[in-house]
Structure 1
């Protein structure tokens, strides 16, 4: 298929360039073209920042919405156009328009550089922790996790809010990032509770490392492809108090689960296969979408107004919009 890659941002093109890198690493069974008109599929990335609603809604490359798809990893997806949303969740209506992706478009500076050194080896490493979690208190669920007391003495749960933020990219974070990987490597299970969004980059990190993940995120929709029940433990948020008992039932399987987690990562989410994975998911959307995308695209201004009025967007509006930029919606 012929693919046209473009940015939906007027001032940011990192993810657009990253998609091109992923294509170069791929099988290249799909080719890239220079014009949207000649493409079978148009992929729009860089869906973030204060003006992305306007930039996307007025993007000149969206001539035929049925072949135009967003690839986005933002915490709160805005469903203006069908596509691959890392934070895809059950609250989004018309789910046939969406598929869930991973964090391969994240800036390299945000990724933990030590994860690659542990790739595929962690399931066979000596284990000192039954399970572990080191992360920020970015959701009520995580606060509950930090306050919870385990009956076991081989559990590590630590709040890193006061000393670590991956997005700040400080050089002194390197020792902390290395320590994080050492803890994950020494754990039979790695907790992946929802944070700002239902998705969590640590899920893909621990899969890459070969550690059995524990997914605690009721609303998040798992990416298609992997046989999640073979290597991941999915815990309902309401069952957090029974976490120890739930994981003890799978404790004897942690080595096999870690190995299968790594295999699933290599099959579906490794950089070398991710571009083809995205295209496969997009083709699946085209095959199963029930309502023509042209209808949703014609209602894009109404969709923006509706979502901006919802409670989950109040913080977003306050952070990114002043009265002048918000006026473009009306």
Structure 2
């Protein structure tokens, strides 16, 4: 990653990936490859990142070439955004601000708007996990190693 200007960030188990924030932390331009990624509120994502639909991977070389001249500035912006929005210190304060925002807005929401904070759970990955849990898949999964031995000894 240190030798790259652009970092491919394909979606992970959900709609995003840790690689996105890792590339921002290192001052590299994240190339977000996901059809369902929803940008976190706040930063001006197009100013420092590129977005590619999962079916458009063949366009990536041309896309990178067309942004090559701006890669350094975009990477510097990515680093600044990471520091201001996603670093450990900033994340704590942003999370508190968002919780307060939700608490203030909650009484004013009516109808379907009440469920906006929960709509992310309707995405396919989360829905599949919820169905699997309901059907009992993974019920036997539990702690491993010492925790499993301790739990087994108590029964």
Instruction: Establish whether TM, by shorter chain, passes 0.5.
Output: yes
Does 2:150 correspond to 1:320? no
Does 2:8 correspond to 1:188? no
In structure 2, the CA distance between the partners of 1:220 and 1:291, relative to structure 1 (3 Å rule), is farther
Which residue of the other structure, out of 276, 288, 298, is the alignment partner of 2:93? 276
Does 2:79 correspond to 1:258? no
Does 2:22 correspond to 1:205? yes
Distance apart, 1:239 and its partner CA: 1.3
Which residue of the other structure, out of 207, 232, 235, is the alignment partner of 2:49? 232
In structure 2, the CA distance between the partners of 1:279 and 1:240, relative to structure 1 (3 Å rule), is same
SS at match of 2:74: helix
How big is the alpha-carbon RMSD for the aligned residues of Structure 1 and Structure 2? 2.7
* 1:213-250 Cα shifts (integer Å, max 9, x gaps): 01112212111111110100011122112111122211
Give, in whole Å, the separation in 2 of the partners of 1:287 and 1:236. 35
* 1:297-327 Cα shifts (integer Å, max 9, x gaps): xxxxxxxxxxxxx5444555412359xxxxx
| Residue of structure 2 equivalent to 1:218 | 35
In structure 2, the CA distance between the partners of 1:243 and 1:288, relative to structure 1 (3 Å rule), is farther
- TM-score normalized by the length of structure 1: 0.35
Give, in whole Å, the separation in 2 of the partners of 1:188 and 1:217. 20
Gaps of 5+ in 2: 116-126, 142-155
SS at match of 1:220: coil
- TM-score normalized by the length of structure 2: 0.70
SS at match of 2:138: helix
How many equivalent residue pairs?
126
SS at match of 1:240: helix
Give, in whole Å, the separation in 2 of the partners of 1:243 and 1:315. 35
Gaps of 5+ in 1: 1-183, 297-309, 323-330
Q: Which has the higher strand share?
A: 1
1:116-131 pair list within 5 angstroms: none
1:141-152 pair list within 5 angstroms: none
